Structure 1
Amino acid sequence: MTTRGTLDTLLERHGTTYAAEAGIRLRDTPQPLYQLLVLSHLLSARIRAQVAVAAARALFSHGLRTPRRMADATWQERVDALGEGGYRRYDERTATQLGDGALLVLDAYGGDLRRLREEAGGETDALRSGLRRFPGIGPAGADIFLREVQAVWPGAAPYFDAKALQGAERLGLPTTPDKLALLAKDRDPAVVAAALVRDALGKG
């Protein structure tokens, strides 16, 4: 099979971003960008991706879709929503981090993560550093956010982190971001990156 054929097969099987799976209609507006930050936080823990997605959906179904609503919720309300999504192993610590992170989004960026992008001047390393200011967002969480947000922040593309490149290597696809982007030039790089990660996690 050609590399293009391999990519097409991969996308047929796994061509859904984690944001879409979590019910986030990702746009370059404050609310979905914040929801992506929450999802990235949850996905970065040592827990199954399906559980993290379910926990994000539970938080959003309880109305915790904006930093203001997240900050105004009680710690117990956040714990309960996380538990409803099956996110029990880290629920207490995560509930605290989500509250603190929501306050940081409000205080530092007026509730709008586009200001983080402006502050970073479009530089990927600066974006990554800015994201890591949020409680619970480490290197993995920053990578997840940037992989997914490139769908609406073209300046961040192509963003294929180590986990996505691991999936590419497993499939015999190019293992540099530029070559992968060239192969998938007519595809959404966020979808390609998510599909590669899913395969790297053993979903192939």
Structure 2
Amino acid sequence: MTRERTVRTLLDRYGRSFADQAGIRLADTPSPLYRLLVLAHLLSARISADVAVAAARELSAGYRTPRRMLDATWQQRVDALGRGHYRRYDERTATQLGDGARLLLERWHGDLRRLRDEADGAAAGISRLLTEFPGIGPTGADIFLREVQATWPSVAPYADERVRSTARTLRLPHSAAGLATLVPAGELPRLAAALIRAHGHEDELRAA
């Protein structure tokens, strides 16, 4: 399979960003950025991506800002996670979401753009600050950065090791800059999401 066909097949089969799947229309404004942070938190747990996305949708229905998340009761957050079938980690996650909302409000006035600016827009600095949120480790920071890069151009191109590993297996460029050359500007989040979803299906893709 040619490189171009591989990319086309990836995008056709798997190329929907996780933010889009969760109903988050990303923009450089506080609410969608916060909802992306919540999604990254949920996706970083050892639970299926579809369940994490469903739970993010439930939380977005009522808690689209850190203030609303913090003002919700712990039980309301647990119930929203449960409606998304995010039950394995629901109690701990409900606590972490409340604590994270408080941190965002107190330190960055509820606006993740302030966090970005504190890091001078650099991916490494943003990642370090993101991991200060309860429940957001390096994996969660990677998810946030690869999804937000079209909205925050200062972090682009961004591809974490999970993305690069699948790209390497499929004989695609396995650097962020190399992968960015394969898609139009702003489309790297879709390709990154496709490579995450394609993990474990590489033989099938090569045979297509």
Q: Same fold (TM over 0.5)?
A: yes
Unaligned runs of 5+ in 1: none
More deviation, 131-140/178-187: 178-187
Percent identity between the aligned chains? 61
Asked if structure 1 preserves the Cα contact closer than 8 Å seen for 2:150 and 2:186, the reply is no
TM-score when normalising by structure 2: 0.94
- Root-mean-square deviation (CA, aligned residues, Å) is 1.3
| Displacement of 1:201 | 5.5
Aligned residue number for residue 122 of structure 1: 121
Asked if structure 2 preserves the Cα contact closer than 8 Å seen for 1:35 and 1:65, the reply is yes
Q: Which runs of 4+ in 1 moved over 2 A?
A: 183-187, 201-204
1:38-80 CA distances to partner (integer Å, 9 max, x unpaired)?
A: 000000000000000000011112x111100000000000001
Q: Determine the C-alpha separation between the residues in 1 that align with 2:120 and 2:109.
A: 17
2:17 paired with 1:21 = no
Q: Determine the C-alpha separation between the residues in 1 that align with 2:40 and 2:185.
A: 26
Local SS of the residue matching 2:132 = coil
The count of residues paired between Structure 1 and Structure 2 equals 203
- 1:31 partner amino acid: S
Aligned residue number for residue 163 of structure 1: 162
Q: How is 1:104-183 mapped onto 2 (pairs within 5 angstroms)? A: 104-183=103-182
TM-score when normalising by structure 1: 0.96
Q: Determine the C-alpha separation between the residues in 1 that align with 2:186 and 2:111.
A: 28
Asked if structure 2 preserves the Cα contact closer than 8 Å seen for 1:170 and 1:200, the reply is no
- 2:144 partner amino acid: F
Aligned residue number for residue 55 of structure 1: 55
Alpha-carbon distance change, 31 to 14 in structure 1, aligned in 2, over 3 angstroms: same
1:94-116 CA distances to partner (integer Å, 9 max, x unpaired)?
A: 00000000011111111110001
| Displacement of 1:183 | 2.4
More deviation, 112-121/158-167: 158-167
Q: Determine the C-alpha separation between the residues in 2 that align with 1:89 and 1:114.
A: 31
Q: Determine the C-alpha separation between the residues in 1 that align with 2:162 and 2:44.
A: 12
| Displacement of 1:2 | 1.4
| Displacement of 1:191 | 1.0
Q: Determine the C-alpha separation between the residues in 2 that align with 1:66 and 1:194.
A: 25
Q: Determine the C-alpha separation between the residues in 2 that align with 1:26 and 1:176.
A: 24
2:191 paired with 1:192 = yes
Q: How is 1:98-109 mapped onto 2 (pairs within 5 angstroms)? A: 98-109=97-108
More deviation, 141-150/52-61: 52-61
| Displacement of 1:177 | 1.4
Q: Determine the C-alpha separation between the residues in 1 that align with 2:123 and 2:89.
A: 29
